[in-house]
Chains A and B, each alone.
Chain A
């Protein structure tokens, strides 16, 4: 095995070549990169390797009708019968296509991309059309996501290779390695390449060791290992190909990193993470033959410096939030999900639904023709026929729990707060509200649960909530404001519920100081109080003191003292106040 450490760019170049070589066998590439020259150059490389003149791009806000295809308005009106139009996925059959801003794709778009990747075809049943379209695509999901936003896991799971260009600066771009002829040559070899059983077992074991549950990743890794051998002009897969597959496919998806023989110079994982981390099944470590150990170590040794740390923080984040920004749906008069059709006046705004309009007009045509005495006229549509599509306009609402988990709030109170939150969650479920949870203790406030409608996730986040330490109130309020602002940009109304005893003792800069802590907390509270949201402060102190009431006043929120409240009383009160 070579001991050369491939650079990040070299890996990216390999990925571009492998993407063209393997295409829909690996689904595609999850491309993590900010827009800029490095990303543009990488996409140029992909385009260069492919036979496509240019890579088509699916915009994040593409309407469903355009993505899947539907009715061709012009032709339909002209011919008086429904004429289908191919959607973008159908047009991109057997091509490489880019999904722009993949971290912000609406959930429905994600679903359709997943179906296209799985089946290579789509069934369409909309607007009077019922058909199948071939849509065998290879997808590049261009993810510009910051730390809070992720490509939906259903999609990233189907993309075999992950390329991260984030750490590469413009000077990190190196000389090209491959030419198109290399790929042609590799293609000729590819079908003859087979994996030895040891290598197959190695990949299966490694994916388990890394906590990559979905078999799709392992299958893609096998393809990539074969592809790497083909690109290197070999008929046998060797250890370096497995290492390449590990770097491109498995490690980026890792949710846990195994202990290696030499300890890694990484920071100690925070103790709270250990609590809910599932213990590694013992047999994997015992049974893991030295072969896998060796391979994994080799692959790890090939990792560029700093990448491991990056992987580790990312792994921790993925654990926290595994399902992307599915809540990011825009509500708009003419956008969003169509939820039905109604008769209406198009001049008052709204989108005309041609098909429903034609249907409404159709039965009257013979009569109208007679009435006019004009038998040649094909179609007569009157105002009363006009139907509009109704879009989902219901405003989403979010209940944000801000829970003080510090030592002063005392463990027993924390348990009660948890109980109250659980009961409130059940309420939110009935109303189909979203919930989110911020917890604050010690140095920082943390969004433990990003807005979600899933109770399973909410419950997991809550169970993992640790207690003890100082009270960084200011940081918590700043984070609350941040979440509220983000939610309101997406048209979501938020109400927050702050459970605390009001004793702030950590300043915004992280220093422990009661005075600075209180001062910063009040400043933050004033800023949050300026937001048009309803807030509720629940004083969880054993003996209520003015400080929590002051805080509530500054927040312009409702204050309730519940010195002895149990979870059920809390819940009743909150319900009474928030209506």
Chain B
């Protein structure tokens, strides 16, 4: 495995970094969509994230990395077996690649052919969705994903479980993952249903000022020259951020959510005319996650304001031609609303 570029060494791209760390703190936020042109470091940052994530406790031997603290609550067959007490072990939060060209059997899982033929057993061979449980599922060029794979993803992403009914198998297993998709919007649109599944979305651009570009080039050169040494130089920052994410995950449940935050979130969504409740829920959850990340005990309007563009950008009632102004609309409504609040 090639050594990943350190997350903390990535120059600029603060929106993208913030969205991904928030998703690492609260996986329930519903995924991150990263849209941008070539050469903006979309895939670099996700590989970087994989190397940054903290460890989690899992049930040893469980193919779905179930949480030992919540035994038998999951749907997993392995952990539901009454026989043995689960042994706890740890692993780094998984980041699983869903490459373009994946076949459905590998994504959702299928009959284990070897065991079927050799032993005549009907056994399930878990797929990528199983590997991604409790972690991240990354789809590069998500707008080019085949429709039948997207269909499979949509259902699982919404329900958090993967139901396999094929080849005489009847399996349900937990598949809660943070879906991370990246793509270049110039190459085709995302299906609206899939776009809705993402909790946060970020637009990335290449910075166009000389000093930043020189910095990008310099650090990338240094990295390419000696990856090990470069990682070592950033190790302290990496572990600081890792601990911060870890602490925020633990503190998340105890973050206070004042009533005016809920109210403002609702007002924002009404003012922008977003469909459904998902926008509001994600706004509140993201504000809480951001508060936890900043070691604040209460989620404030300031947190909400920071995160609102990422939460709402892709949820505005779609005028498919009015893509560019989404950010401006969100910002304008935020400005209006927050001025009111100050009065």
User: Which residue of chain B has its CB nearest to the CB of A362?
Assistant: B116
Contact of A201 among B102, B206, B209, B214 (CB under 8 A): B214
The answer to whether B218 and A359 have CB atoms under 8 Å apart is no
- Asked whether A100 is an interface residue with its Cβ less than 8 Å from the other chain, the reply is no
- How long is the Cα–Cα vector from A219 to B110 in the complex, in angstroms? 44
The answer to whether B187 and A218 have CB atoms under 8 Å apart is no
- How long is the Cα–Cα vector from A219 to B221 in the complex, in angstroms? 7
**Chain B proximity of A401: nearest CB distance (Å):** 14
A94-135: contact bitstring with B at CB < 8 Å (1 yes, 0 no)? 000000000000011001100100111111111111101000
- Asked whether B15 is an interface residue with its Cβ less than 8 Å from the other chain, the reply is no
A152-172: contact bitstring with B at CB < 8 Å (1 yes, 0 no)? 011001000000000000000
The answer to whether A215 and B39 have CB atoms under 8 Å apart is yes
B113-134: contact bitstring with A at CB < 8 Å (1 yes, 0 no)? 1101110101001011000000
The answer to whether A208 and B208 have CB atoms under 8 Å apart is yes
Counting chain A CB atoms within 10 Å of each CB, the highest count among B1, B127, B187, B208 belongs to B187
Which listed segment binds A: B139-147, B240-248, B307-315? B139-147
User: Which residue of chain B has its CB nearest to the CB of A392?
Assistant: B146
Which listed segment binds B: A50-58, A334-342, A523-531, A547-555? A334-342
User: Which residue of chain B has its CB nearest to the CB of A154?
Assistant: B38
The answer to whether B39 and A157 have CB atoms under 8 Å apart is yes
- Asked whether B100 is an interface residue with its Cβ less than 8 Å from the other chain, the reply is yes
Contact of B216 among A119, A215, A217, A379 (CB under 8 A): A215
**Chain A proximity of B39: nearest CB distance (Å):** 3
The answer to whether A284 and B210 have CB atoms under 8 Å apart is yes
- Asked whether B274 is an interface residue with its Cβ less than 8 Å from the other chain, the reply is no
**Chain B proximity of A278: nearest CB distance (Å):** 10
- Asked whether A422 is an interface residue with its Cβ less than 8 Å from the other chain, the reply is yes
**Chain B proximity of A117: nearest CB distance (Å):** 11
Q: A82-B113, A355-B105, A365-B120 are in contact. Are A429 and B214 (CB under 8 A)?
A: no
User: Which residue of chain A has its CB nearest to the CB of B218?
Assistant: A200
- Asked whether A503 is an interface residue with its Cβ less than 8 Å from the other chain, the reply is no
The answer to whether B168 and A108 have CB atoms under 8 Å apart is no
The answer to whether A81 and B98 have CB atoms under 8 Å apart is no
- Asked whether A445 is an interface residue with its Cβ less than 8 Å from the other chain, the reply is no
Contact of A127 among B105, B141, B321 (CB under 8 A): B105
Instruction: Give chain B interface residues in 22-51, CB to chain A under 8 Å.
Output: 37-39, 43, 47
**Which chain A residues border B107 with CB–CB below 8 Å?**
125
**Which chain B residues border A204 with CB–CB below 8 Å?**
210, 213-214, 217
User: Which residue of chain A has its CB nearest to the CB of B98?
Assistant: A125
- Asked whether B258 is an interface residue with its Cβ less than 8 Å from the other chain, the reply is no
The answer to whether A454 and B2 have CB atoms under 8 Å apart is no
The answer to whether B105 and A128 have CB atoms under 8 Å apart is yes
**Chain A proximity of B115: nearest CB distance (Å):** 9
**Which chain A residues border B116 with CB–CB below 8 Å?**
359, 362-363, 365
The answer to whether A426 and B113 have CB atoms under 8 Å apart is no
- How long is the Cα–Cα vector from A455 to B318 in the complex, in angstroms? 12
**Which chain B residues border A222 with CB–CB below 8 Å?**
217, 221
Contact of A80 among B1, B118, B206 (CB under 8 A): B118
The answer to whether A125 and B103 have CB atoms under 8 Å apart is yes
- Asked whether A358 is an interface residue with its Cβ less than 8 Å from the other chain, the reply is yes
The answer to whether B224 and A25 have CB atoms under 8 Å apart is yes
Residues of B in contact (CB 8 Å), total 60
- Asked whether B148 is an interface residue with its Cβ less than 8 Å from the other chain, the reply is yes
- Asked whether B228 is an interface residue with its Cβ less than 8 Å from the other chain, the reply is no
The answer to whether B187 and A454 have CB atoms under 8 Å apart is yes
- How long is the Cα–Cα vector from A63 to B226 in the complex, in angstroms? 36
- Asked whether B8 is an interface residue with its Cβ less than 8 Å from the other chain, the reply is no
Q: A80-B117, A125-B106 are in contact. Are A214 and B320 (CB under 8 A)?
A: no
- How long is the Cα–Cα vector from A566 to B1 in the complex, in angstroms? 59
- Asked whether B17 is an interface residue with its Cβ less than 8 Å from the other chain, the reply is no
The answer to whether B99 and A81 have CB atoms under 8 Å apart is no
**Which chain A residues border B125 with CB–CB below 8 Å?**
128
**Which chain A residues border B39 with CB–CB below 8 Å?**
157, 213-217
- How long is the Cα–Cα vector from A216 to B102 in the complex, in angstroms? 28
- Asked whether A37 is an interface residue with its Cβ less than 8 Å from the other chain, the reply is no
The answer to whether B186 and A454 have CB atoms under 8 Å apart is yes
The answer to whether B321 and A126 have CB atoms under 8 Å apart is no
**Chain A proximity of B138: nearest CB distance (Å):** 10
- Asked whether B104 is an interface residue with its Cβ less than 8 Å from the other chain, the reply is yes
The answer to whether B114 and A287 have CB atoms under 8 Å apart is no
The answer to whether B217 and A203 have CB atoms under 8 Å apart is yes
The answer to whether B104 and A340 have CB atoms under 8 Å apart is yes
**Which chain A residues border B218 with CB–CB below 8 Å?**
200
The answer to whether A68 and B101 have CB atoms under 8 Å apart is yes
**Which chain B residues border A326 with CB–CB below 8 Å?**
187
- Asked whether B167 is an interface residue with its Cβ less than 8 Å from the other chain, the reply is yes
A127-146: contact bitstring with B at CB < 8 Å (1 yes, 0 no)? 11110100000000000000
**Which chain A residues border B321 with CB–CB below 8 Å?**
422, 425-426, 455, 459
The answer to whether A456 and B128 have CB atoms under 8 Å apart is no
- Asked whether A546 is an interface residue with its Cβ less than 8 Å from the other chain, the reply is no
- Asked whether A271 is an interface residue with its Cβ less than 8 Å from the other chain, the reply is no
The answer to whether B220 and A213 have CB atoms under 8 Å apart is no
**Which chain A residues border B206 with CB–CB below 8 Å?**
213-215
- Asked whether A505 is an interface residue with its Cβ less than 8 Å from the other chain, the reply is no
A369-396: contact bitstring with B at CB < 8 Å (1 yes, 0 no)? 0000000000100000000000000000
The answer to whether B103 and A126 have CB atoms under 8 Å apart is yes
- Asked whether A234 is an interface residue with its Cβ less than 8 Å from the other chain, the reply is no
The answer to whether B220 and A362 have CB atoms under 8 Å apart is no
Q: A108-B101, A120-B2, A456-B323 are in contact. Are A322 and B208 (CB under 8 A)?
A: no
- Asked whether B61 is an interface residue with its Cβ less than 8 Å from the other chain, the reply is no
User: Which residue of chain B has its CB nearest to the CB of A283?
Assistant: B209
The answer to whether A355 and B210 have CB atoms under 8 Å apart is no
The answer to whether A429 and B189 have CB atoms under 8 Å apart is yes
Counting chain B CB atoms within 10 Å of each CB, the highest count among A25, A111, A128 belongs to A128
The answer to whether A366 and B106 have CB atoms under 8 Å apart is no
Contact of B106 among A81, A118, A129 (CB under 8 A): A129
Which residues of B does A touch, CB under 8 Å?
Answer: 1-2, 37-39, 43, 47, 97-107, 110-111, 113-114, 116-118, 120, 122, 125, 127-128, 140-141, 144, 146-148, 167-168, 184-189, 206, 208-210, 213-214, 216-218, 220-221, 224, 319-321, 323
18 contacts between A and B (CB under 8 A): A82-B113, A115-B140, A120-B2, A125-B103, A125-B106, A128-B105, A128-B113, A130-B128, A154-B38, A200-B218, A215-B217, A215-B220, A217-B39, A219-B217, A219-B220, A322-B186, A363-B168, A429-B320
Given contacts A25-B224, A80-B117, A200-B217, 14 further A-B contacts (CB under 8 A): A111-B144, A115-B99, A130-B106, A153-B38, A200-B214, A203-B217, A215-B39, A215-B217, A218-B213, A323-B186, A326-B187, A340-B104, A362-B116, A363-B116
* The 4 nearest A-B residue pairs measured at CB: A214-B39, A362-B116, A81-B114, A125-B106
